[in-house]
Amino acid sequence: MRVSRGVEWTPLVQLQCALLAAPAGALGTGPHAVVALALPTPFGAADPLSSDPVVAVPRGVRPRHLTGFGVRADRLHPETREHRVRGVRVLSPEDLWAQRCGELDEESAVALGDGVLRRSRDDRAAMLAALERLPPEQQALARRVLDQVRYEVCSPVETRLRLLLVRAGVPEPSHFAAPVPREGRAEVWPDLQWESVRVAVEVDGPHHADDEQRERDLRRRRRTEHHGWVQVVVSSREVMRQPDEVVRWVSDELRRAGLRW
């Protein structure tokens, strides 16, 4: 198979090439499909372009060996849903998440689930149905992951911080759940919040170093504090590299605000 030099070599194009050579009914899956669907990738994952794309084929189909991509046989349930990205057939976000649960660490699987639930606008029933299409021996793990999936999570780093806090015994926060103030014109939508003690956490990524963004962040903090909330700001880098310190900082602020656990 040849690809024109003018075509950008992306995970989606790799999947498209793989599907052209795959048996009828095959669907793109694996890391390439995650990127094609713009879903969260595992923490520390390598670029999908450094590995072969993977396709899944219907049950009972014996795939022939083909160089350049991997094939998973006997993995597609008859009711597996498909999704098309620019005409390329891949697993639906829900089915892709369910299948990936057994391949990812738990934290990354929850982050992927958070992304799928946000994309589907809180259609947890679709994720449960996808889970039930897995082989029976894989369902318990996926169900445990689904129990930890939450709606309105904006980034995998927010997922990680929530899980770090909960595992440390801190009462679970809500994500982006309601604005500050609660009544009147909404001004701030905190990343994580504990409404009972009015504490909000903002997770700032690298783009917050920009001068204009810093000014917006300062105005955000002033508005949050004006309405009687305490704002705790941590960087995504701190969440990834200093998790224990971040948990301690947030816990200290919550205790000062009167939250007990």
Q: Are 55 and 69 in contact (CB under 8 A)?
A: yes
**What pLDDT, on the 0 to 100 scale, is given for residue 190?**
82
> Of 146, 167, 187, which marks where a domain is finished?
146
User: Could you report the per-residue pLDDT of 50-68, keeping only the tens digit for each?
Assistant: 888 889 888 877 766 666 6
Percent of the chain with pLDDT over 90: 61
Quick one: pLDDT band at residue 43, thresholds 50, 70, 90? confident
Beta bridge partners of 58: 76
Q: Is 3 inside any structural domain?
A: no
In this prediction the pTM is 0.89
Residues 29 and 114 in one domain: yes
Domain extent for 116: 11-146
Residues 124 and 194 in one domain: no
Residues 113 and 34 in one domain: yes
**What pLDDT, on the 0 to 100 scale, is given for residue 3?**
64
H or E segment at 26? none
Residues 16 and 122 in one domain: yes
Residues 15 and 136 in one domain: yes
Q: Is 217 inside any structural domain?
A: yes
Q: Is 5 inside any structural domain?
A: no
User: Could you report the per-residue pLDDT of 115-156, keeping only the tens digit for each?
Assistant: 999 999 999 999 999 999 999 999 999 999 999 999 989 899
What does 161-228 look like in DSSP terms, one character per residue? HHHHHHHTTPPPPEES-S-BSSSSS--B--SEEETTTTEEEEEE-GGGGSHHHHHHHHHHHHHHHHTT
**What pLDDT, on the 0 to 100 scale, is given for residue 239?**
96
Going by C-alpha positions, the residue among 115, 253, 130, 134 that lies closest to residue 197 is: 253
Q: Is 43 inside any structural domain?
A: yes
